[in-house]
Chains A and B, each alone.
Chain A
Amino acid sequence: MISINEISKTFGKQKVLKSINLEFKKGECVALIGPNGSGKTTLIKIILGLLFPTSGTLSVNGRNVEKSVDYRAYIGYMPQMSRLPENMTVAQVFALMKRLRKDVTEHDTDVYKMFDIDGMGNKALGKLSGGMRQKVSAALAFLFNPDILILDEPTAALDPVSNENLKAKISRVLAEGKMVLITSHNLSDLDGIVSRVVYLMDGNVFFDKSIDELRSNTGEERLNKMIVKSLTPELV
């Protein structure tokens, strides 16, 4: 589905990504993790076409996407929404998005209903709490039934019930054969849905392992502990 070939990104003198090669396939749920400044956000922004790689190519569904925007129709992105037009209402955002995506006629309103977005339709974006913004962001990501979902810190501000509901939804779309890429600092939230972990460090892929591999290597069941043990085997 997504193929990242030799992608590098330099900001001024700083090399943020160093010849990254990754391949994400159908039905995979990949956790993209790493310390602050490791290049996670840069990689996601390159996939979304917000940043231009210094070198390397990106293919989505087998097609090189350089200078193209059409491939983004396959992607649903859940950003961390903090800076938004503050007087625009939730209903207006959804109306605008639907007008912009007239190509999609069948909407996936599971998350929309689950988080009762209708109930906050008249609220201005500037008046929403962190959790509410996150819910709006999640509902938008799933709305157009994309094959690929990119979720940036999806559970950061969600209450435990919403968190579990969102995880259940992610599991359902994975069963439908879609691909999900998640970045998160809170690894315990990803337990049970992640099938593969890509750990970035200093712009390199430090390790890229399936969850089964991590489990058998470390003998741990919880994702948090698997990662810690994989990073510091000498400490165990």
Chain B
Amino acid sequence: MIQIARYLTIDLLKNRAIIGSFLLFAAIGWGLFFIENQPEKALLMVMQVTLLLLPLITLIFSCIYYYNSYEFTVLLLSNPIKRNAVIQAFFIALSVSLSIAYILGIGLPLLLNYPSVETFILLVSGNFLLWIFVGLALFISTKVNDKVRGIGLVLILWAFFAFLFDGLLILIMYQFGAYPIEKLILLLTFLNPIDISRISVIMQTDASAMMGLSGAVFVDFFGSMKGLLISFSALLLWVIVMYAGAVRNFGKSDL
């Protein structure tokens, strides 16, 4: 498994899309700090852009790479190699190469311009998001054999996690605004890894003061060390669930 992952990673690091993602991340990371004088505001802008772009790039690229490596997968599996080893290698190689593009592209300008707790949280949760969405992309592409349908499905899921879920939360908050639903909302945010990451970062900044009563409950939770550990654990759980789903699908599916 390690050998396959190693060779796939070498292939991926030379891939134009990975290099392009790195350049895009670098342009966002350096560019926003260049045009915005207040580093904390720049960080929030970087966060908003990356939390939208990172899952999108990860989902589409991982899907396309998996589908485009079909014959290679078949070639590997025509040898006495367990299926698990092959899908694990894909997961590791995609996660490692995208993480390198993210850490060098976004991480470097952030650490140099604004070395802070918020930066650290954004980098860690960004990496968690990356692994979660690599897992989700592999989960879908191992289930759906048709490339076009697979990519269509991950795009819908991206829209769900990036916009629709928040829309639903806001709807619930408005409809049931008269009730003490802050804790329920807090629980519901754990169903969306992008929200977990976003709130974990925002709660470390002054912007949290603008979030009203639910913000106060959130600051109480996410602002503490314990809350941070719980949200990182939740992200880790997301990674494990997605990864396990992809391994399970791949083990059972017709190729």
Interface residues of A (CB under 8 A from B): 11, 45, 48-52, 69-73, 75-77, 79-88, 92, 95-97, 99-101, 103, 137, 140, 144, 150
**3 cross-chain pairs, A with B, having the tightest CB-CB distances, nearest first:** A77-B78, A87-B14, A85-B11
**Residues of B with C-beta under 8 A to A96:** 3-4, 7
- When chains A and B are docked, how far (Å) is the Cα of A83 from the Cα of B78? 16
Do the beta carbons of B77 and A49 come within 8 Å of each other?
A: yes
**Residues of A with C-beta under 8 A to B14:** 87
Closest residue on chain B to residue A82 by CB atoms:
B71
Shortest CB-to-CB span from A54 to chain B, Å, is 10
Which residue of A83, A84, A100 is within 8 Å of B4 (Cβ)? A100
Say yes or no: A69-B80 contact (C-beta < 8 A), given A88-B11, A92-B7.
yes
Instruction: Show 18 residue pairs from A and B whose CB-CB distance is below 8 angstroms, ordered by the A residue.
Output: A11-B254, A48-B74, A49-B77, A51-B254, A52-B252, A69-B81, A72-B77, A72-B80, A84-B68, A84-B72, A85-B8, A85-B69, A86-B68, A92-B11, A96-B4, A100-B4, A100-B76, A150-B78
Interface residues of B in 67-115 (CB under 8 A from A): 67-72, 74-83
Shortest CB-to-CB span from A166 to chain B, Å, is 18
Do the beta carbons of B78 and A100 come within 8 Å of each other?
A: no
- When chains A and B are docked, how far (Å) is the Cα of A96 from the Cα of B78? 14
Shortest CB-to-CB span from A89 to chain B, Å, is 9
- When chains A and B are docked, how far (Å) is the Cα of A73 from the Cα of B10? 26
- When chains A and B are docked, how far (Å) is the Cα of A95 from the Cα of B7? 9
**Residues of A with C-beta under 8 A to B80:** 69-73, 101, 103
Interface size range of chain B in the complex = 20 to 34
**Residues of A with C-beta under 8 A to B3:** 96, 99-100
Closest residue on chain A to residue B2 by CB atoms:
A99
- When chains A and B are docked, how far (Å) is the Cα of A156 from the Cα of B81? 28
**Residues of A with C-beta under 8 A to B11:** 85-88, 92
Say yes or no: A101-B79 contact (C-beta < 8 A), given A51-B254, A96-B7.
yes
- When chains A and B are docked, how far (Å) is the Cα of A101 from the Cα of B3? 11
Do the beta carbons of B255 and A85 come within 8 Å of each other?
A: no
Shortest CB-to-CB span from B209 to chain A, Å, is 48
**Residues of A with C-beta under 8 A to B4:** 96, 100
Closest residue on chain A to residue B75 by CB atoms:
A79
Say yes or no: A48-B75 contact (C-beta < 8 A), given A69-B82, A96-B4.
no
Starting from the known contacts A45-B254, A71-B80, 6 additional A-B residue pairs (CB-CB under 8 Å) come to A50-B74, A52-B254, A72-B79, A73-B80, A87-B10, A150-B78
- When chains A and B are docked, how far (Å) is the Cα of A79 from the Cα of B69? 13
- When chains A and B are docked, how far (Å) is the Cα of A50 from the Cα of B254? 6
Which residue of A49, A86, A88 is within 8 Å of B10 (Cβ)? A88
Shortest CB-to-CB span from A11 to chain B, Å, is 8
Closest residue on chain A to residue B78 by CB atoms:
A77
Tell yes or no: B233 within 8 A of A by CB.
no
- When chains A and B are docked, how far (Å) is the Cα of A101 from the Cα of B254? 24
Tell yes or no: B15 within 8 A of A by CB.
yes
Do the beta carbons of B72 and A85 come within 8 Å of each other?
A: yes
Do the beta carbons of A87 and B79 come within 8 Å of each other?
A: no
**Residues of B with C-beta under 8 A to A71:** 80
Which residue of A82, A84, A100 is within 8 Å of B79 (Cβ)? A100
Which residue of A49, A72, A83 is within 8 Å of B72 (Cβ)? A83
B35-56, CB under 8 A of A: which get 1 and which 0? 0000000000000000000000
Do the beta carbons of A81 and B77 come within 8 Å of each other?
A: no
**Residues of A with C-beta under 8 A to B67:** 83
